[in-house]
Structure 1
Amino acid sequence: MDIRPDQNSIITQRLQEMQKEWSILSALNRSFSCVLDKKSFGQALQQSFKEELGFHECVVLQIDEQHKESEVFYSTFQVQSTQNQSLKSYLQQCITSPEAVLFDLKDFKETKTFFFEAKNKEMRSVIGFCLPSVEEAINIIFLFYKNFVSLADINERILTQISTQLSITIRNISLTEKFKNLEIQNGNSQIEMETEVSQKQEHGFQGIIGESEIMKDIFEKISQVAPSESNVLIHGETGTGKELIAQAIHQLSNFSQKKMIRINCAAIPANLIESELFGHEKGSFTGATEQRKGKFEEAHNSTIFLDEIGELPLELQGRLLRVLQEKEIERIGGNKRIKVNARVITATNRNLEKEVLKGNFRSDLFYRLNVFPIELPALRERKEDIPLLAEYFLKKLHIKTGKKITGFSQKVMHQLIENSWLGNIRELENIIERSILTAKDNIIKEIDLPKVITVQNDHQDFQIKPLQEIEREYILKAVSRCNGRISGKNGAAILLGLPSTTLISKMQKLGIKKEHYFKGND
């Protein structure tokens, strides 16, 4: 079959769109498949689901098919009543329609319902959708918007294709709650312990776990800067949760209804990152077979998160500075200036002030980015949060590992608290996952912590080495220990608590090649 170039381009674009949509659906399904309680259900709705559908408030109703009675399963509103004729007519329209239904709140007058509260909170539009029936319950989800929207403004395919998973998750939560109620009535102390853990987890801030004073200060800074459009620079060691902080700032901002755009400056080759950030025109370079928007265009009227900004090539720093100053971009190969209004959040584990002195980072760009700095503590600086984090990961990893572990022995908890955690929270999660898999009882009694090489305090033998050399030696030892494997379950990236892309980038910068670590194995 002869396919003309323009047809080929259309087919390629459609395949790319399908792949992107499949990736979104896969992530949403994973997010909801791990949910076993209403709190986690609400977090999943307010984070990943909200990013894709852009709503401001949400209500999920359950209707008993036998008795035709409705009750609120989850709501972001305070008013919970579902008993009035207008609301019942809305429910009936959703139940009888195979597609999503759009409602306008301007004419809704009946009080004491969440629809009326939504109207008072300046919501304008409602999209109602009846989820597939599971067993004897009918579930309806209502998405509320401050502005007037049409069904064409939302990705209805995402809503339709995730609907079955939503129904299954709601059914699982209901069954879990019934089981817990029965167990509590029978005096089961284990359920009481889990309830206590759940109550402790309610202190999380926008999905960030921590109750230490240093983290409370971080939460206060997030609350202060989020409503503004000021640039934020997040600094912290690898694995301290910089992306979570960026996401929290975005969720509390005026851009929360739109998806935050993420890009890792270390994970993209230097020759491709310009196109990734600013886009390109068709034919602008070899392989540019179609026009492509860059991340800044995608982030228009939203937030762009530039992770590992210290890795951005020097020649691109000037162009990024112009974007920040002029609020407009030019695609590669184009001469048209495109206005972009994007709030910029950056993160780095490097000391950018030192990089400026070395000539590796532009001082004018640094001052543009460093309007509101947030310094994240290493895990060893917030040890009082380790028990809370450990319990959180036990619960989070239950579905993934297929094992129900209820806690840690006192010995193991002491080891967790005293460990140095060079890979921070990411390393803690990986170690706990490994310990769950190897545990022989319902509590973790043994834990295999990485061996940390210490230098004796002997000034005669001690030699001070450059930090890059120490980092190079440490990475070489880790890779050699993993028999040259970088990524995967038994790879050095997990051992070091790093994403494999970041580790590969570091190895390239430090000049580490295959012959170095294979030689070290001999």
Structure 2
Amino acid sequence: MSKVEERVPEKHLDAASLLTRDSMIHLSQLLATIRTKEELQLFVRNQLFSLVSFKEGLVCIFDKTTENYNPFFASHSFEQLSFDEQLWHATLARESKAINEAVDRSELQGNLFTFNMFEQLVVDGHFAEISMDHLVLVGCRLQMGDHLVGLLCLVLNKSQYHASYAEKMLAWISGHLTTVLANILAAEQLQRREYEQRALLAISNDFAAIKNSGDFLDIVNLKLKKLFDFSHSVLSLITEDGKYLYPYIFDPKNPNISHRLYEGAIKLKFSTNYHIFKEPLDTGDVLVYSVDELMKDKDAPVFIKINHDNKMKEMAVLALGTEGSYTGFIQFWTRVEGTFSPSCLDIIRSVSQQLAIALSNLLAKDKIAEQLAEIELYKRKLEEQNISLQEELSAQYRYSEIVGEGKAIKSVFNAIGQVASSDSTVLIAGETGTGKELIAKEIHNRSKRSAKLMVKINCAAIPLNLIESELFGHEKGSFTGAGERKLGKFELANGGTLFLDEVGEMPMEVQSKLLRVLQEREIERVGANFPIPIDVRIIAATNRNLLHEVTAGNFRADLYYRLNVFPINVPPLRERKEDIPILVEHFLDKHAKKIGKKLVGVSREVLRKFRDYDWPGNVRELEHVIERGILMASQALITEAYLPDRHLDKIVSQPSELSSTLTHEMHQITQVLRSCGGKVSGPGGAAELLGIPPSTLFSKLKRLGIKRNYAL
């Protein structure tokens, strides 16, 4: 018994009579200076113990959500004594409702929990976990008006217990302790919120900088766990059809890893219609589920059993994304009931948007990495499959393939030598059939990009609605008929050369996009929202006068100047007739071997006719004439020229006012039509001789007003 209790009879015990006015003032002033949990613990251990002898003092705080008293601290007055603090706190939490009902019924001043109330609860079956043979439990509820703050409990020896004294002392001090505890909790809550705000800001910045799944796990495990405690987390993805989800990122410290069902479970897909996923999707909020309750569901997924076997008690589930476009879920698991308090759920809500953005960024990075790997694999296969083809092309289109010894063609040879080793853009201009593609290949083969592909695209041969997809590629589902992702010519040519043939035929809307690619050196596939860097050399070719097309408003001036960095003008065959004999010899050798005939040459008369002819189809037309002569020859010498008859019917109508370029193009097409007897498509047709698709030739016939009136 304390000294105070020894000198004062029990029937006179009264807090005011036990303490002098100065002592009460001193205690009140001392309580008013308490600001922290540690200071309050020290007061209970020293000052309160000096007033009421107790084995242990326990302070709990009231959780409005669970309506339980949760541990705040124990006084640890006698550390040498055996005292199961955890058991006492667990018991008080479990008996919270019974304690409050007993206090409410009594309506005692100071919200006292007396020994009589305690004994009655023991008789009613409460506090069965604790042996009470020699102990007494008393206390006071710490309450301000209707606001319940906490509970002070004192454990005393029965031999030293004097009910009236202890309970009246508690009644006097309860109001002071309530104010002190409320202030401490308010200060801690304020500090906690300030810390959370700083931590959430840092976490937001960290999530924005995520590069891989390892970064994501570091943020969750090292930083998010500081804001609320949990065992482990799982990030899952929703399938494209929205029907299933599957694990995406696992916590490396996940205690489930050693479970016998774990390896099989992580390979499974789970229905999004199961209520623990459907409800978060429907509400858009984080929801908490009891693992024990989930185990009662016969349809519970296997991961519920795995976590239950590892003593998990609760899981919190949040759908990531926005309504109608959720991409996944994050689950938090804990072994402690009540972990996911309202403040904890608020934290999860606070980071929900950052989690969703981080997931989207991870998926985008994964997709880009997958696409780049796919492109590299595709390019590697192409390169491997075309090694022999490239070698063949390198031999077939060697420098001597551009045949000629005249002054006009030598100027072309010089230009090739000047530009081949650089990465400069080249614009090759020349009539149809002059060998523009051969020149482009020669430039590529002599460049530092020769080990890579030269990819060709004929701008005049692709339908208007597909040319953008052909150039830049498209994503799956980007338009009707886009059943799978397709790489464009730019990506296929990455590291090599892209040859834009008939660039003058390119639609104006595509010209602007080509200009942007040339300026920024990056493309976007149709249907994609991310750029792809490219390293491509551009060689363009045209049979039009692009400067005239710019003046006419058919070609962008800025694109023209971008392409016209290094122009090469290829002379028509009529301006280099001195090269006809060597060209004839070259084509005879080339096609006679292919056809399987042995010819020694052409007659002098045939060679004379070749020199007199204007060759509107240029070198290509000469090659086809030689091939036809080989096929028709019945002896070792070609004696028939097989040239078009100049006295065939002329064109029925012809525009009166055409530019010199259009006039020449019209004349060229007319001559070739004559040589083919009016045949446009098919083997030996005018389109084949001119080296353009039949659809393009039909368009030109319509545009130039040329009507076919020729017969064999």
TM range (shorter): 0.5 to 0.7
Distance 2:461 2:610 in 1: 31
The structure whose Rg is larger is 2
Q: 1:480 to 1:231 in 2, by over 3 A?
A: closer
1:375 is aligned to 2:569 = yes
Per-residue deviation, 1:219 = 0.9
Q: 1:406 to 1:297 in 2, by over 3 A?
A: same
Q: 1:499 to 1:351 in 2, by over 3 A?
A: same
Distance 1:513 1:219 in 2: 34
What are the ranges of 5 or more consecutive residues in structure 1 without an aligned counterpart? 7-151, 167-200, 457-461
1:234 is aligned to 2:428 = yes
Does structure 2 retain, via aligned residues, the 8 Å contact 1:204–1:210? Answer: no
Q: Choose from 483, 492, 496 the match for 1:298.
A: 492
1:213 is aligned to 2:401 = no
Q: Secondary structure at the match of 2:447?
A: coil
Distance 2:421 2:387 in 1: 32
Counterpart in the other structure of 1:333: 527
Per-residue deviation, 1:483 = 6.7
Distance 1:278 1:248 in 2: 25
Per-residue deviation, 1:386 = 0.7
Distance 1:430 1:352 in 2: 28
Give the counterpart letter for 1:506 in structure 2: L
Q: 1:484 to 1:386 in 2, by over 3 A?
A: closer
Give the counterpart letter for 1:288 in structure 2: A
Distance 2:655 2:516 in 1: 44
Q: 1:446 to 1:260 in 2, by over 3 A?
A: same
Give the counterpart letter for 1:218 in structure 2: V
Distance 2:559 2:416 in 1: 22
Give matches, 1:61-210, under 5 Å: 158=385, 205=399, 207-210=401-404
Distance 1:154 1:474 in 2: 42
Distance 2:592 2:447 in 1: 32
Does structure 2 retain, via aligned residues, the 8 Å contact 1:487–1:500? Answer: no
Q: Secondary structure at the match of 1:413?
A: helix
Distance 1:205 1:453 in 2: 39
Per-residue deviation, 1:492 = 2.8
Deviations, residues 268-319 of structure 1 (Å, cap 9, x unaligned): 1111110000000111000001111110111111110000000000111110
Q: How many residues align?
A: 329
Give the counterpart letter for 1:424 in structure 2: N
Distance 2:558 2:591 in 1: 44
1:489 is aligned to 2:683 = yes
Identical-pair percentage: 50
1:391 is aligned to 2:585 = yes
Per-residue deviation, 1:208 = 1.2
Per-residue deviation, 1:493 = 2.7
Q: Choose from 689, 696, 708 the match for 1:505.
A: 696
Distance 1:403 1:364 in 2: 52
Does structure 2 retain, via aligned residues, the 8 Å contact 1:486–1:500? Answer: no
Q: Choose from 466, 487, 490 the match for 1:272.
A: 466
Give the counterpart letter for 2:614 in structure 1: S
Does structure 1 retain, via aligned residues, the 8 Å contact 2:499–2:538? Answer: yes
Distance 1:161 1:212 in 2: 33
Distance 1:471 1:220 in 2: 27
Distance 2:531 2:614 in 1: 50
Give the counterpart letter for 1:248 in structure 2: E
Deviations, residues 194-237 of structure 1 (Å, cap 9, x unaligned): xxxxxxx9997252111112212211111110111110000000
Q: Secondary structure at the match of 1:511?
A: helix
1:318 is aligned to 2:509 = no
Q: 1:395 to 1:427 in 2, by over 3 A?
A: same
Per-residue deviation, 1:488 = 2.6
Give the counterpart letter for 2:617 in structure 1: G
Distance 1:386 1:222 in 2: 22
Does structure 2 retain, via aligned residues, the 8 Å contact 1:203–1:211? Answer: no
Counterpart in the other structure of 2:266: none
Distance 2:455 2:396 in 1: 28
Q: 1:448 to 1:465 in 2, by over 3 A?
A: farther
Give the counterpart letter for 2:582 in structure 1: L
Per-residue deviation, 1:254 = 0.7
Counterpart in the other structure of 1:308: 502
Give the counterpart letter for 1:329 in structure 2: I
Distance 2:664 2:381 in 1: 51
Distance 1:351 1:309 in 2: 11
Distance 2:397 2:385 in 1: 31
Does structure 1 retain, via aligned residues, the 8 Å contact 2:473–2:526? Answer: yes
Does structure 1 retain, via aligned residues, the 8 Å contact 2:474–2:525? Answer: yes
Counterpart in the other structure of 2:418: 224
Per-residue deviation, 1:161 = 9.6
Q: Secondary structure at the match of 1:374?
A: strand
Q: 1:482 to 1:204 in 2, by over 3 A?
A: closer
Q: Secondary structure at the match of 2:498?
A: strand
1:249 is aligned to 2:443 = yes
1:466 is aligned to 2:655 = no
Q: Choose from 593, 596, 609 the match for 1:415.
A: 609
What are the ranges of 5 or more consecutive residues in structure 2 without an aligned counterpart? 1-239, 242-378
Distance 2:388 2:454 in 1: 22
Q: How well do the aligned residues superpose, as a CA RMSD in angstroms?
A: 3.9
Please, which moves more after superposition, 340-349 or 214-223?
214-223
Give the counterpart letter for 1:499 in structure 2: G
Q: Choose from 439, 450, 454 the match for 2:633.
A: 439
Distance 2:675 2:386 in 1: 46
Per-residue deviation, 1:450 = 1.3
Does structure 2 retain, via aligned residues, the 8 Å contact 1:398–1:405? Answer: yes
Give the counterpart letter for 1:511 in structure 2: K
Counterpart in the other structure of 1:366: 560
Q: 1:205 to 1:453 in 2, by over 3 A?
A: farther
Distance 2:562 2:515 in 1: 8
The structure with higher relative contact order (CA 8 Å, sep 6+) is 1
Q: 1:515 to 1:397 in 2, by over 3 A?
A: closer
Q: 1:160 to 1:446 in 2, by over 3 A?
A: closer
Distance 2:597 2:582 in 1: 19
Q: Secondary structure at the match of 2:486?
A: coil
Give the counterpart letter for 1:426 in structure 2: R
Q: 1:453 to 1:354 in 2, by over 3 A?
A: farther
Distance 2:605 2:674 in 1: 30
Deviations, residues 466-492 of structure 1 (Å, cap 9, x unaligned): 255785687578658857642233423
Counterpart in the other structure of 1:122: none
Give the counterpart letter for 1:384 in structure 2: E
Counterpart in the other structure of 1:185: none
Per-residue deviation, 1:363 = 0.3
Give the counterpart letter for 2:600 in structure 1: T
Q: 1:453 to 1:224 in 2, by over 3 A?
A: farther
Counterpart in the other structure of 1:349: 543
Please, which moves more after superposition, 444-453 or 279-288?
444-453
Does structure 2 retain, via aligned residues, the 8 Å contact 1:507–1:513? Answer: no
**TM-score normalised according to structure 1 size:** 0.57
Please, which moves more after superposition, 273-282 or 478-487?
478-487
